[in-house]
Every structure is written in C-alpha cells, then in structure tokens.
Structure 1
Amino acid sequence: MNIQEEILTRIQENGSEIIVTDTNILYEEKGRFRVLGFANGDVQGAMDLDDPQRIVLEYPRAIIHLMEHNEPGFERAFVIGHGIGTIAGYFAQHDIRTAEISQAIASISRTYFGYAGPEVNVGDGRQLLNRETDGSLDYIVLDAFTEKGTPWHLFTREFWSLADRKLNEQGVILLNVFGRGQRDSFVDAIWAGLSEAFAYTQGFALPPDDPRDTANRILVGGKRSVQAKLGQMVGFERSEPECGTVLEDEMFGYRQE
C-alpha cells in the first residue's frame, strides 16, 4: 500500500511528543483519516474525515455499546482520558465529566478534531475523580495512556476503592487496557483489583493472531451485572484474564492529595 501522510502539528509537552497526522491508510483501511498519536506510534484517537460522526476505533464503539445497552438513560459519567473526545462527544447530552492530563490534547481535540462536547478538566484523573460527590456517578470510563506508559496509580486497590465510593448503587466502571493475550502481569493485576472491589466483573478482548501478541481489552467492574450483545461489540469476544497480585499505592510511592 502507498501510504501518504501529512503531519499537521507536533507538540512537545512534559517530555512527550504529541502528533496529529492526516493519512490515507489506517490499520490497512483506505480512506482519509486524521490521527492523534504519540511519537512512539501509539494511536490515541482517529477520525474519518469523510464521515466525522463515524467512530473509527473498535474499543470506544464497544464501550459505548455497553453503556447504552445497560443504561441508555444514565445521568452522569466520569471519563478519565479524553483523547479526541470520542466518548464525551457521543454522550454530550448527558452530564459528562472529563479528566485529561494533557492540556495540549484537550486543545487539539477541539482545534483539529472538532470536539464540541462538555468542558474538559485538565489534571490528574484520580485527583479530579476524588472531588466528585460520593455515590453520584452511573459510569466511570478509564482510558488513560501517556507516551511514557500506563499511569499505575489509576489501577491500585486504593483507586478501586475510590471508584467504588464515587459510583452509585448501580454504578459500573469500564476500562480500556492494552496487554498480551495471555499471562500479562499488569492486566492480571488489574483484573484482581476489579474482582476484589466489585461484585460483578466481565472481560472482553480483541483476539490477537498470536496469544503472545498485545491486544485491546475492555474490563468491567460493577455493582450490578452488565450485559453485552456480542454482535455489537465490533469483534470483542468474552475473555477474562487470570487473577494476579492486586497493585497498591505504596508499591509506587503514591500519596493521594
């Protein structure tokens, strides 16, 4: 395939390089796409320039299905990790609170991707979530990545306790994580923490060609069971990790402010 790319902007922020690129090929699909990514090639969001309302990436489409299918009339959700604003923009008519660690990404979503949804709060997602009223949230969506890696303090026992406290009695947390198909210690640790904190858990994954390859996973923890129509999960299949060792704040020297 003859890949044609044009870099629209390149921003340095806190040691990371954030890039917006127009390309004619995305994941082997031909078209006209605008992509938000990091210098290491990780894609944080993508828009179809010929159909801007289309949700291009599979994992936000699957998360949106789970939210709509289980509680279409939900009132309030808290999203950690804004990207181009796919989920917050889709649910703009709801009370959506969004936390994004990067001021550059918050601005790029509006300038280059036309995000016009609810205000994006720039700051640490855990600290901003802590300010929400206990028992006030129907959903928490966790989709947080940086070029430097995964923010570990969002996956500890103390964070799960915080999420449980902020969710209402029917509340659900949905996570987009990336890891190996089998025996991934980080994914297994997340699953162990979810399983300890929430009565109901489910796992889904895009099956990789090789079990040793990395793939997107959607992990769910809830105070009630969550149903899914697999035909609307855009290739995600039920897949539960192994239970690993629950992460704790003290392992990383983290203190909640």
Structure 2
Amino acid sequence: MSGLQEIAVYDSNQLYGQVGKYRFLQFSNEAIQGAIDLKNPGRIVMEYPRAIIHLMEWNDRSFENVFMIGHGIGTIAGHYSDKRFTIAEINEKVVELSKAYFHYRSDDTVIGDGRQILCDQAPAAFDYIVVDAFTKEGTPYHFTTLEFFQLTREKLTASGAVIMNLMGKIKNDKLINAIYTTFREVYPYTKAFSLPAEDAADIRNIIVMGSSKAIDYESRVMAGFFEIELAEGHRMLDKE
C-alpha cells in the first residue's frame, strides 16, 4: 500500500494465455499497469504501449520531446534512449518499484501532480503529451476537462499531439463519450481506437489522440487496436 493506492508486483507464467515468465505491476481493482517478459525484457508485451509507440512514430518520425503523465513501469520512455522524456508521477513508490523490479534506469521523473507539473513547463515545449494516469476510480477527473486539454495544446508544438490511454466501453459509456467530446473541442483532428472484446459492454483499453494536423496510422501495426466512432457526450469542465 502506498498512500491511498494499493500496489502489487508479482510474477506469473501466463500473459493473456501465452506461457512464459512475466512480471506485473498492478494497482488496486486488479488493473495491470505494466508487464515485462522476464526472458526478453526489451520486448513490449502489452498492446496499448505498442499502439501508442506506433502512433508517435508514424505521425512524427523526428519527434524529440515528450511529456508523460503516469509512469507505470516506464515502458514507453524506456523504449527510447535517444528522446527527451519528462514524466510526472504522483506516487514515488511506483518509480521505486519500476527501477527495482522492471529494469527502469532513467532519472526523468518528477514526483507530483501531472497537471501542475505540466503547467510549469514552457509553451510549445513538447512534440507529444501522453496521458496514462489511473487510480482505482479510473482516469483522474482533472485530466479529462476542457481546461486541461487547452493546457495540453498550449504546451505542444504547432504540429504536436496528445495521446490518452483510457479504460471504458465503446458503446453507451457516458464518461468516455464526454471525455472524447470535450477533447474534440480543443483538437481539430481526433481519432479513437479500441482493443477488441467479446461484448460492446466490456471494459477495455481505449486510446484517443488529438492534434492540430491530420492523424494517420497503419492498421496492421496497431497491436490489435481498431478505429472507432464514439457517441456525443457532455462537456467536462473543471469543478468549482
């Protein structure tokens, strides 16, 4: 237990039905936040970071500066030794565990609230902003509002993009629809992607991306994610 967030590290011989030797970082409510293949630590085993990496590389092959909210085990930042990452993580214990058990080596993490840390960054400083922050209630509210998305756009270069990893349903999910509708008020070009599931009511990873320029991708490299259309929702604003 760290603060109000229960954190577990454990090993398993299975990942999504694949037999091997894996290690997981898991928060409360059984949400897996990161996983590595202990026999091949450089292999990215979870789908959503593979899809995010593809979107980043496909839309800007020469990107240099990335701001991330949510450290996890540091999968995306650890994939790039030649890029400059600034990672905001609210829970210092998450960073400690990523270094102790998941081979994370960089000292690029700032401990604190991601929105406040982003506020302190220079305008137009980043090619990408990646939001991958979760508590047991889901994505923290203050990372889903109109004011937050306006802040992200201020901190991006003119051709930069924000990418969010969310958890929800692709149909009749009022929160997901509201986040995406609010997101689209700020970014003229937006796309949403989902992992497949047995039923439309199943919770799964949903990635949303927004930019001031057109967004492209290669379907076969999206780690199983496919583009989806989300319904209109209400606008999300900072609480009084």
For the superposition of Structure 1 and Structure 2, which TM-score range results when normalised by the shorter chain? over 0.9
Residues 99-155 of structure 1: CA distance to partner in whole angstroms, max 9, x if unpaired?
Answer: 111100011110110101342111100001111101111100000002343211001
SS, match of residue 129 in structure 1: helix
The answer to whether the Cα contact below 8 Å between 1:97 and 1:118 also exists between their aligned partners in 2 is: no
- Measured in 2, the distance between the counterparts of 1:162 and 1:27 equals 37
Whether 1:172 aligns to 2:161 is: yes
Q: CA RMSD in A?
A: 1.1
Count how many residue pairs are aligned between Structure 1 and Structure 2: 240
What residue number does 2:9 align with? 20
Please list every run of 5 or more consecutive structure 2 residues that lacks an aligned counterpart in the other structure.
none
Residue number in structure 2 paired with 1:181: 170
1:77 aligns with 2:66: yes
Residue equivalent to 1:129: 118
Deviation at 1:14, TM superposition (A): 1.4
Alpha-carbon separation, structure 1, partners of 2:222 and 2:126: 24
Q: After TM superposition, where is structure 1 displaced by more than 2 Å over at least 4 residues in a row?
A: 147-150
Instruction: Find the residue that maps to 2:6 and give its secondary structure.
Output: strand
The alignment status of 1:58 with 2:47, answered yes or no, reads yes
- 1:39 deviates by 3.5
Identical amino acids, percent of aligned pairs: 42
Aligned residue in 2 for 1:216: 205
Q: Which residue of 1 aligns with 2:226?
A: 237
Separation in 2, partners of 1:190, 1:128: 21
- Provide the secondary structure at the position in 2 that maps to 1:98: strand
Whichever residue aligns with residue 37 of structure 1, its letter is Q
1:205 matched to 2:190:
no
The one-letter code of the counterpart of 2:150 is: S
Q: Is the 8 A contact 1:92 1:117 kept in 2?
A: no
Deviation at 1:68, TM superposition (A): 0.8
Q: What residue in structure 1 maps to residue 84 of structure 2?
A: 95
Deviations along 1:136-190, one digit per CA (max 9) or x if unpaired, are 1110000000234321100101101100111111010001101012011111011
Would the alpha carbon gap of residues 207 and 157 (structure 1) be closer, same or farther in structure 2, given more than 3 Å must change? same
TM-score, normalised via structure 1 length: 0.91
CA distance in 1, matches of 2:50, 2:75: 9
Contact 1:178 1:217 in 2 (8 A): yes
- Residue 230 of structure 2 aligns to a residue whose secondary structure is coil
Native 8 Å contact 1:96 1:118 kept in 2: no
Cα displacement string for residues 200-251 of structure 1 (whole angstroms, at most 9, x for unaligned residues): 001111121101111111101101111100000011111121120111112x
Q: Distance in 2 between matches of 1:45 and 1:184?
A: 25
